[in-house]
């Protein structure tokens, strides 16, 4: 990407006519100003008297030379403001206060609008934009924050970062949040399904990654929610493998852990596929153990259960079945092959904020047991290089848990059946 020299021109001035950033011009299903205002009110209700809390937007980071990384907003800042821009600051007061010439309980500080920059990098909100679009009454330039900071010394600092207030709010998803999460999960399920019907033994990990991420983008996702894990063969036994460069062989399993992000909210789904379309005997045995463990874990996703309950029951299944197969001698050895937790919260972060106490209605968590038997393991070599993980996104309710990603096949037989329904994806190699 070349970056020619920048020259200021009066022709840039019309950009200032709109205080609406590009994000708000084109997407009409973003979280509303009322949602973010409501989140600030909910947080304010939890704050100590005569206290304030300060939140900072993420900074832009340089990837190399004059090329930045794709900007991603701090999730707490986005949750409370809806502001997608860097270099912004939010100050929330417990009570309305007189500060300088303002009588307020919140101030947002944002970048100044700049026609010179906006022609190159897109429209900014500016102070008028955050008032009009995001609903703030008091908005100032970020350059004014330094002069305001001494005026804040008379207010107690609410230790939001060290306390659980914001985690308690973010772990319970509102209906508005669930709309976006469901959209992210639907996009992800549909994209994984296309990959299942596209896989060929002549492909590579990166080509499989390209198929699923193309599916995200073409369905409206802004980005993957995290680096896609697409590991085949021996790489199925590496939990967060992201090199994605290996060429498939006919006997491979393929672990695909990939989730779409939609308007800040990310899905997190994993499927394990036989690249030739049918599981071998040993692969299916391990797959079925993981499936049974996941079913047990999902069944434990009930309000009032401890957060670790899904993991505990899933682990027991894995330990029992591995012993039955002679892969381990004692059930306590199962941790050699199942050595990660089964669940985490899901939302604005793929590993989202939460208290990890008892499960509550409105929690969205993953259930993702796995078994990983790398080459050289202390068991029969017929099990080596078999790695299996199955992951779904589960909504905790007042009744039975809801599997939000249930539309994507999980049972071994269902996976094989879908893989037989081949579709053409242009540009991918096929086994001759």
Catalytic center residues? 66, 240, 257, 268, 340, 344, 351, 368, 372, 389, 391
CA distance 259 to 227: 9
- What sign does the dihedral 415-419-425-430 (CA atoms) show? positive
Cα 98 from chain centre: 39
H/E segment holding residue 104: strand 102-110
CA distance 78 to 282: 46
- Quick one: 2 exposed, middle or buried, by C-beta within 10 A (0-12, 13-18, 19+)? exposed
Strands (E) across 115-170 are located at 139-141, 156-157
The backbone torsions φ and ψ at residue 326, rounded to the nearest 5 degrees and listed phi first, read: 75, 10
Helix (H, G, I), strand (E, B) or coil at 25: helix
C-alpha dist (Å) from residue 405 to 109, 144, 203, 301: 39, 46, 26, 15
DSSP per-residue string spanning 354-374: ---SB--TT-EEEE--EEEE-
The backbone torsions φ and ψ at residue 352, rounded to the nearest 5 degrees and listed phi first, read: -85, 170
Which residues lie below 8 Å from residue 132, measured CB to CB, with a gap of 6+?
19, 20
CB count within 10 Å of CB 69 equals: 10
CA distance 388 to 385: 10
Q: Is 179 left (phi over 0), alpha (psi -120 to 50) or beta?
A: alpha
Q: Which two tokens stand for residue 248?
A: 């498939």
Q: What is the Cβ-side half-sphere exposure of residue 159, based on CA atoms within 13 angstroms?
A: 3
Which residues lie below 8 Å from residue 41, measured CB to CB, with a gap of 6+?
none
The backbone torsions φ and ψ at residue 248, rounded to the nearest 5 degrees and listed phi first, read: -70, 155
Assess contact for 191 and 216: CB atoms under 8 A: yes
């Amino acid at each position: 990407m070349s970056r020619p020299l920048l020259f200021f021109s009066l022709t840039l001035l019309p950009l200032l006519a709109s205080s609406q950033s590009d994000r708000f011009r084109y997407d009409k299903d973003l979280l509303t100003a009322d949602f973010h205002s409501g989140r600030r009110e909910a947080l304010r209700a939890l704050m100590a008297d005569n206290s304030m809390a300060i939140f900072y937007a993420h900074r832009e980071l340089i990837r190399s030379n004059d090329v930045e990384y794709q900007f991603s907003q701090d999730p707490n800042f986005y949750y409370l403001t809806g502001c997608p821009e860097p270099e912004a600051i939010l100050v929330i007061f417990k009570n309305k206060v007189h500060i300088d010439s303002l009588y307020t309980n919140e101030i947002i500080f944002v970048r100044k609008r700049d026609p010179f920059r906006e022609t190159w990098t897109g429209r900014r909100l500016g102070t008028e934009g955050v008032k009009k679009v995001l609903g703030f009454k008091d908005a100032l330039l970020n350059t004014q924050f330094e002069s305001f900071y001494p005026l804040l010394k008379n207010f107690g600092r609410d230790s939001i970062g060290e306390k659980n207030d914001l985690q308690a709010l973010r772990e319970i998803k509102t209906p508005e949040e669930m709309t976006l999460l469901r959209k992210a999960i639907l996009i992800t399920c549909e994209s994984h399904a296309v990959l299942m019907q596209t896989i060929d033994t002549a492909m590579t990990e990166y080509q499989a990654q390209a198929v699923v991420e193309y599916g995200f983008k073409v369905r409206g996702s802004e980005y993957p929610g995290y680096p896609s894990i697409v590991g085949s063969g021996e790489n199925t036994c590496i939990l967060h493998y992201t090199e994605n460069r290996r060429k498939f062989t006919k006997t491979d399993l393929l672990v695909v852990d990939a989730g779409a992000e939609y308007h800040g909210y990310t899905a997190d789904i994993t499927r394990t596929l036989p690249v030739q379309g049918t599981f071998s005997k040993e692969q299916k045995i391990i797959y079925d153990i993981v499936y049974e463990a996941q079913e047990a874990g999902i069944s434990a996703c009930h309000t009032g259960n401890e957060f670790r309950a899904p993991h505990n029951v899933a682990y027991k299944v894995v330990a029992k079945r591995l012993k039955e197969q002679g892969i381990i001698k004692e059930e306590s050895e199962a941790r050699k092959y199942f050595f990660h937790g089964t669940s985490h919260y899901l939302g604005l972060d793929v590993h989202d904020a939460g208290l990890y106490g008892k499960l509550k209605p409105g929690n969205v968590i993953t259930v993702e047991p796995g078994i990983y038997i790398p080459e050289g393991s202390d068991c029969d070599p017929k099990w080596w290089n078999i790695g299996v993980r199955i992951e779904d996104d589960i909504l905790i309710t007042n009744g039975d848990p809801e599997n939000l990603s249930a539309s994507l096949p999980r049972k071994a037989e269902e996976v094989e059946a879908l893989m037989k329904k081949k579709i053409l994806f242009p540009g991918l190699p096929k086994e001759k």
